[in-house]
A and B are shown apart, each in its own frame.
Chain A
Amino acid sequence: MATVAATAPPPAQARKLAIWRDGDQIAHLVTLLFAASVFVVTVYLVYQLWIHSGPSRAKFGFGFLTGRTWDPVAENFGALPFIYGTVLTSVLALVISVPLGVGAAIFLSELAPPKLSNTCTFLVELLAAVPSVILGLLAIFTLVPIMRQYVEPFLKATLGDLPLFQGPAYGVGYLTAGVILAIMTFPFIISISREALLAVPREQREAALALGATKWESTWQVVVPFARLGIIGSVFLALARALGETMAVTMVIGNDTGIHASLLSPGYTIAAIIANEFTEATGDVYLSSLVELGLVLFAVTMVLNGAAQLLIIATTRKGSRRD
């Protein structure tokens, strides 16, 4: 107490100076500004999409989402064929990549020795780093001919009675886009599902095995359900990625603005039509319709990503708590 009384507190101004000389306030402020800029820019992105889609929203309203025609000459635009194509190709991708991805994740977490598991995961995660335009390049010259000559004729010969597999085999179309999207999405499913499965406590497996379950029964009926939120989260993340994927899909989708039931027929996706027509678009309504398509895509992927984040956080927390 005596010392406090002895050294008189410095005048307010001097203290302020000392703080500024310290630099802490400045550093705090500067880093805060940069962190805030991330927030501001993202809000600005939404604002810009909203403003620039104005003419289209004013002209078509919600009818834009259900319109089936895309006629630049008459300036009549509807998004349904593209929404349909985007959803269809993404669902096809998941139909292929979820069983493959979850299967591989099960093998990597339950059966493979750690070294093999890490190596395979490493290879799969490297696959996620391959630029999509390169996958598109390979798809044009390898996947499309294979689909045209072997896969699609085979599907027509065996399942041709279904409306899903009718019409000529072009090679390009919904199915080919779905296959290439599956290759782009399974790295996410494998990587995240493996983490979720590895976070399942050992006791769960041991208890199931001790009750007489086979390895598969213990895995499928105990471990997988335990990790299900993380696996579902990885699927959501893969779906968000598939919906927004542009280049590889643009190169193999076939660019047809109709709505077709057959998986073999050419179609279009939201990202593909923006990529193809944005630089050629003339007139306010045309351009703003493309921007509005971007806004729709943004909204859908944001909701999916948000949900995926929550699910993944929920599982990783649960795993670490029980450990």
Chain B
Amino acid sequence: MNRTAFRNVLNNVMLTLTGLCTIITSSVLFLILGYLIYNGWRSLSWDFFTKLPLSAGELGGGMANAILGSGVLILIAAVIGIPVGFLGGIYLAEFGGKTFPMMVRYTADLLNGVPSIVIGIFAWTVVVVKMHHFSSWAGGFALSMMMVPIGLRATEQFLRSVPSSLREGSLALGASKTRTILSVVVPAARQGILTGMILGVARIAGETAPLLFTSFNNQFWAASLNEPTASLPVMIYTHAISPYDDWHRLAWASGLVLLVLVLIANVACRWVLSRGMSVQRG
């Protein structure tokens, strides 16, 4: 009897503890978002989006160059990363044999797990050392390296989820394999691939470590893609570790803008994906 009572108490205690773990872990996101809104909202103003950062001690200023810089870096990364991921994914899903696709798949997973700072070193050796200076190109290249594996696996996964009857139907009508892929398979998987790519963009948008010694930083507008450029994540980093209150203010506002953009992209993509899945199952 005593033993049973102990087992029941243990049961209740442990199950309550697991519930507590869930509450703690699920609430962290709200704590982060709430604190960031609390601190960042007051610092957001029109100036934030239109003005350049000022030197230490001067009040005011904005992050206009960092916002543009981040946009340019992401654009470069997308222009390199999306075609590689998309076409490579098509190969894995539609053309691949056995051994080689497995190797590519494994390397893609490997690349996905490479610490971002190591990607930064690689981009530095390949681009910065050769060009002899920091540039948007180097930063964009580093970010594209992080995007390729995500795009590749997303494309492969969603192409594979297209029923083979669609392919066979198209081939039976006399279409070539390429025509089938372009006109039937890819359009059927379009939504999934697109959301996968957007998730990839959302992931690289907040990456800081690969940019530290590739695109570096810049207090002013970057005149060309060959110059070092400011970006939101690096600006958050430099402003957060600075001793100036006014710089902290800008860091909070930048953090809020960046987080809201990343979260919106993630929520939208997951919503679309979950809808797509249920349609397929039904």
Give the B-binding residues of A (Cβ under 8 A). Answer: 22-24, 26-28, 30-32, 34-39, 41-45, 48-49, 51-52, 99-101, 103-104, 106-108, 110-112, 120, 122-127, 129-138, 140-142, 183, 186-187, 190, 214-217, 220, 240, 243-247, 251, 271, 274-275, 278-279, 290-291, 294, 297-298, 301-302, 305-306, 309
Contact = CB atoms under 8 A, between A and B. Distances in A.
Q: Main SS of chain B's interface residues?
A: helix
A129 B202 contact: yes
Contact of B206 (A30, A101, A133): A133
In the A-B complex, the 7 residue pairs with the smallest Cβ-Cβ separation, listed nearest first, are A131-B206, A244-B115, A103-B21, A31-B91, A305-B113, A107-B18, A34-B87
Nearest to A220: B14
Contacts of A186: 25
B141 to A, nearest CB: 10
Interface stretch (B43-51, B54-62, B162-170, B260-268): B260-268
A301 B113 contact: yes
Nearest to B216: A279
Nearest to A215: B11
B149 A38 contact: yes
Contacts of A34: 83-84, 87-88, 91
Given A291-B121, A301-B114, 9 more contacts: A24-B176, A34-B91, A45-B111, A48-B122, A131-B259, A141-B39, A183-B28, A216-B15, A246-B117
B11 A112 contact: no
A133 B240 CA distance: 9
A183 B25 CA distance: 8
Contacts of B26: 104, 120, 123-124
B229 interface: no
A44 B29 CA distance: 38
A122 B29 CA distance: 11
B152 interface: yes
Contacts of A122: 270
Interface of B: 7-8, 10-11, 14-15, 17-22, 24-26, 28-30, 32, 35-36, 39, 83-84, 87-88, 90-92, 94-96, 100-101, 103-104, 107-111, 113-122, 124-126, 145, 148-149, 152, 176-179, 181, 202-203, 205-209, 212-213, 216, 233, 236-237, 240-241, 248, 251-252, 255, 258-259, 262-263, 266-267, 270
Given A30-B87, A48-B126, A129 B108 contact: no
Contacts of A100: 21, 24-25
B90 A31 contact: yes
Given A214-B8, A298-B118, A103 B18 contact: yes
A279 B19 contact: no
Contact of A131 (B111, B121, B126, B233): B233
B113 A302 contact: yes
B267 A126 contact: yes
A141 B18 CA distance: 30
B153 to A, nearest CB: 10
A294 B205 CA distance: 23
Contacts of A309: 109
A137 B107 contact: no
Contact of A38 (B29, B148, B207): B148
B114 A45 contact: yes
A297 B18 contact: no
Nearest to A237: B113
Contact of B14 (A26, A44, A136, A216): A216
Given A38-B111, A131-B259, A279-B212, A23 B206 contact: no
A57 to B, nearest CB: 15
Interface residues of chain A: helix, strand, loop or mixed (majority)? helix
Given A107-B18, A123-B26, A136-B237, A49 B95 contact: no
Contact of B178 (A27, A38, A183): A27
B107 A39 contact: yes
A295 to B, nearest CB: 8
Given A111-B18, A129-B266, A131-B258, A38 B117 contact: no
B25 A101 contact: yes
Contacts of A38: 84, 88, 104, 107-108, 111, 148-149, 152
Contacts of A187: 25
A294 B123 CA distance: 13
17 contacts: A24-B176, A28-B95, A35-B101, A42-B107, A45-B111, A49-B122, A103-B17, A120-B26, A122-B270, A129-B263, A131-B259, A141-B39, A214-B10, A246-B209, A274-B117, A275-B209, A278-B213
Contacts of B103: 39
Contacts of B24: 100, 104
B117 to A, nearest CB: 4
Contacts of B88: 31, 34-35, 37-38
Contacts of A140: 240-241
A135 B248 CA distance: 14
Contacts of B262: 129-131
A140 B96 CA distance: 48
Nearest to A110: B18
A116 to B, nearest CB: 9
Contact of B32 (A22, A51, A135): A135
Contact of A190 (B19, B25, B205, B236): B25
A99 B21 contact: yes
Contact of B29 (A41, A42, A112, A130): A130
A49 B207 CA distance: 21
